[in-house]
Amino acid sequence: MSADPLPPAARPDPPDPDTDPFGWLEDVVGDESLDWVRQRNEHAQQALGGADLTRTRAAVREVLDSDDRIPAVSLIGDHLYNFWRDAAHERGLWRRTTPDSYRSEDPAWETVLDLDALAEAEDESWVWHGASVLRPTPEQLAAGEPWRRALVDLSPGGSDADVTREFDLVEKRFVPAADGGFHRPLAKGGLAWADEDTVYAFTDLGEGTTTSSGYPRTVVLWRRGTELTSAPVVYEGSTDDMAVMGSRSRTPGFERDLVRRSIAFYRSETYLVEGVGTPGQELVRVDVPLSAETGLHREWLTIELREDWEVDGRTYPGGALLAVVLDDFLAGSRDLTVLFEPTPSTSLVGGAWTRHHLVVTVLEDVAHSAYTLTPPDLDAGDDTRSPWARGDLPVGGELLTVGVRAVSTVDSDDVWVTRSGYLEPTTLALATVVGAGEEPREPEVLKTAPAFFDASGMVAEQHFATSDDGTRVPYFVVGRSDLVRPADGSGPGTAPTLLYGYGGFEIPLLPGYSGTVGRAWLARGGVYVVANIRGGGEYGPSWHQAALREKRHRAYEDFAAVARDLVARGVTTPEHLGAQGGSNGGLLAGNMLTRYPELFGAVVIQVPLLDMRRYSHLLAGASWMAEYGDPDVPEDWDFLQTFSPYHRHDPAREYPPVLLTTSTKDDRVHPGHARKMAAKMLAAGQDVTYYENIEGGHGGAANNAQAAHMAALAWTFLHDRLS
């Protein structure tokens, strides 16, 4: 086992000891750093350990390990595959069953890969990162050949860096490298099937083959039985890019080779590769705005816009979804069909293709709905400019999140439909998408998750706060009715209330059932609040762009406005109100601490960014400069320092109690952010509790036991400080 959790390309530039007295804590596995971590972990255990922590951890672990959870499945050949963790399988099982068996109350599962056994045999703490399976050719399927070849991604301890190994689904074993099996060494990147003897490889191939963020910048075509380092280059990006990758679409009749170049977040290029791997290889760029996202399905190209696009005398708005026949587009046509156009209150969640239809999911004031679109039948002679027929998909509901995923984009029009609400356990249903004019079929409910807490007497509501610039900011409130709806004239409520947020990277926070939140917080008299602040994706790209870079303060003003609104409505008081966020949300929570300490009685900051002067020099930080700015550019540092909690910290100021948590093996957001902030506050004599999990990567935990412990620490801290 390697003592260093970071690949060489991800090791940070050293800090300046003259300007950062706590910079030594950036040495992830240095003896001095780890001694400090062990001391702080021991302090956290002493401060929070006890009967409450033990009970909460057990309650959370019971949810995470429950056999009654819904097994999420993917159809591969004749089987439904699922990855599963429980008390008996802490690393997890990759397993499969038949569709008929899955419909039963007690499906018969066949183990394909046992990660616990593998971890023990190899003395490595493997964490599942997923698998991709090669679709057989039509000729192979007609001959009855099975789906056999898989690429399995495994991470040591949960880091983003992982390995890829070829796996035989029939013999249920890894294919040894000595027998020609594909094995990718530890790095950030991956492999993608081209055919049964060829893969696209995008990974660390040695000096100069990764970006400044530690991701691959080179795509090669690796043939079975050859050395990876000698594979021919298909595409080479820039060191300043974010990452590149290659893939092959194997839809019969529409096989295509693709390279995607991520220049930065929200800026990318897609290339069609003609004659891949031959001397005459040519890359043809799909000529859409760099900020747009493209999708391919059979003959169709879809374009999701983030910004307005003026083309051929027409302007298509940011947030719109467009479609065109790919070959026509490549030939110069810009006769685009608008499939979705946003309004001030609506935004596109996404589109899911089945064989014949596109399911479009939309948010309206953060409420889900879905409908179907059927493109013109070009095989039947329809004009490419014919309208897409719209149909219904009866899957919506009040304050519910609806997820729609195709069972197969090649073979059927069935979709998996999940529904979940704060007080409504998740259901999984199977629906068949039909054409416009046909009566939509009620989805067949296959599985319903259990209720992990008693929700009787509880309500979930949506409210709106007004931010400093007059913007209406939605938020959800969940809890007992008498706490969420305090009686008029009764005075301020004192319910312990947790306000959670994220506000970045165009990611929306949506309603969803959490047995953990229910057991550890709601059932114990807490109120749970989720703020849909700017920077997220609740109202599409414009909502995100409203808090980019020098406008970042708007996200923090939005969150503070929700906090004030909760107090104004009599739900709670600042002494009983907590703030929580992780990753970019950890930066949010850090700004709540340093900008608005008077609004909160406790703050939980998890796997956070906090030092915005150093962030772009640490691990994947350089890839986020489109979101935050470049601290090495003086004009950018002028605004970055205004939301850098590490620099905003005032040793003489009074702050609410803080819990800071991170992971030693987080190779995305460097653990030095949390370490240094804790050390700085401790040196000022402030109330800080710090805990660092040795495993877990950016998720903070590598298995259910660790996840339960990390969650219990946060809930115990909040109960102790806010009740």
The residues annotated with a catalytic role in the active site are 583, 698
Distance in angstroms (rounded) separating the CA atoms of residues 140 and 77: 12
Distance in angstroms (rounded) separating the CA atoms of residues 674 and 590: 10
Long-range Cβ contacts of 73-81 (<8 Å, 24+ apart): 73/102, 73/416, 75/99, 75/407, 75/408, 76/133, 76/147, 76/169, 77/146, 77/147, 81/112
Distance in angstroms (rounded) separating the CA atoms of residues 368 and 428: 16
Half-sphere exposure for 657 (CA within 13 Å, toward CB): 20
> 660: part of which helix (H) or strand (E)?
strand 658-663
User: Is residue 110 within 8 Å of residue 97, measured between CB atoms?
Assistant: yes
First to last CA, the chain: 44
Structure tokens given for 381: 């002679």
Strand partners, 323: 302, 337
What is the phi/psi pair of residue 253, to 5°?
90, -10
Farthest CA pair distance, the chain: 80
User: Is residue 440 within 8 Å of residue 394, measured between CB atoms?
Assistant: yes
Sign of CA dihedral 93, 96, 101, 103: positive
Distance in angstroms (rounded) separating the CA atoms of residues 464 and 564: 11
Which residue type, as a one-letter code, is found at position 411? D
Half-sphere exposure for 448 (CA within 13 Å, toward CB): 6
Question: Which residues, at least 6 apart from 358, have a Cβ–Cβ distance to it below 8 Å?
Answer: 297, 302, 339, 351, 352, 372, 373, 374, 375, 388
Strand partners, 315: 310
Strand 267-274 versus strand 282-285 pairing type: antiparallel
Radius of gyration of the chain (CA): 26
Distance in angstroms (rounded) separating the CA atoms of residues 630 and 627: 9
